[in-house]
Structure 1
Amino acid sequence: MHPLTGDLPAGWLRRLAPHARPVYRRAGHRLTRQDTPAEQFWLLHSGTVVIDLHVPGRGDVVLEELGAGTTVGWSWLVAPYRWQFGAVVTDDIRALEFNAAGIRALIAENDELGRELSARFLSVVADRLRTARHRLVGLYAYPADTT
């Protein structure tokens, strides 16, 4: 079981299951690109993914590395449903890929499920933003060496 969903009631898991499919992605595969439509999310079972952010003049800056037991993607939950960060597979992954539109429909149908999933993904959002802030401060706290 995955930490994000492992303790959900069986009835909710049965409702989520039709919107998920197992996937395998090789290293180098880009799962998401910043500012493109966010149409899915992933629960990682193995492998690694890096989260990146395009910074003008610096290119794609790696913010965080995610491994087994983590969740990739939260932008699907917040309109206008566009990726806030990019994500690239760095070590082949096995994951469950969820269709975001289907999960949003379930959330709209069931207030209790919606509150629970929203709270769980809010934790993911907070972790990603905290890590991004620390990484960017580290990059820009000191001027680049120009010698």
Structure 2
Amino acid sequence: MPSMSVFDLLAVHDFVADLPGDWLHRLAGTGHPVYYGTGHRLMREDGTADRFWLLHNGSVAIDFYVPGRGDIVIERVGPSTLIGWSWLTVPYRWQFGAVVAEDIRAVEFDAAAVRNLIAEDPEFGRELTTRILRVTADRLQASRHRLIELYAYPAVA
């Protein structure tokens, strides 16, 4: 079975599949297919946010560090998901961490190259930013729910 091009992978990914073909072609030029095995850390909170991923297979645990408790998983996400949004705004530092929970196949993007595309085409930039803001809002809501789970009720002795 022949491998799919980056354009083909984007054309079937829920996050971007409905974008105009010329936008997909430009976006495809900034990405490449990757495979990472279980346990690989994609990003660590406060690290340099210089890439992001559109997940096709597998799952990723989104986490953040809590002093005295270590890395706390706030959400586990699977296929058709965007991983990483902190690359979009200065200072380009990860707000969360992420580790591969189950082997993944994804398209990995060069964040600086995508920021250049956004600067060159404001309409594309607005659309992509709107989609990323939806993901951001979902992740923050998941964080809120996870914190409530962890801390709202007294521990059972």
SS across alignment from 1:42: strand
Please give the residue correspondences for 1:40-55 in structure 2 after superposition, counting only pairs within 5 Å. 40-55=51-66
SS across alignment from 1:65: strand
How far has the Cα of 1:143 moved from its partner?
A: 3.1
How far has the Cα of 1:142 moved from its partner?
A: 1.9
Determine if the alignment matches structure 1 residue 71 to structure 2 residue 82. Answer: yes
Number of the residue aligned with 1:26:
37
CA distance in 1 between counterparts of 2:42 and 2:74 reads: 15
Q: Deviations over 1:25-60 (max 9, x none)?
A: 000000000001101110010001000010111110
Determine if the alignment matches structure 1 residue 62 to structure 2 residue 62. Answer: no
Q: Deviations over 1:115-135 (max 9, x none)?
A: 000000000000000000100
Amino acid at match of 2:13: H
Identity of aligned residues (%): 60
Number of the residue aligned with 1:133:
144
Determine if the alignment matches structure 1 residue 112 to structure 2 residue 135. Answer: no
CA distance in 1 between counterparts of 2:65 and 2:148 reads: 15
Amino acid at match of 1:65: R
Q: Alignment partner for residue 105 of structure 2, among 73, 94, 98?
A: 94
Determine if the alignment matches structure 1 residue 35 to structure 2 residue 46. Answer: yes
Supply the RMSD in Å over aligned alpha carbons: 0.8
How far has the Cα of 1:144 moved from its partner?
A: 3.3
Amino acid at match of 1:116: E
SS across alignment from 1:84: coil
TM-score (norm 1): 0.97
Number of the residue aligned with 1:80:
91
Amino acid at match of 1:138: E
Structure 2: 5+ residue stretches without partners: 1-11
Structure 1: 5+ residue stretches without partners: none
CA distance in 2 between counterparts of 1:37 and 1:13 reads: 26
CA distance in 2 between counterparts of 1:90 and 1:55 reads: 19
CA distance in 1 between counterparts of 2:97 and 2:121 reads: 30
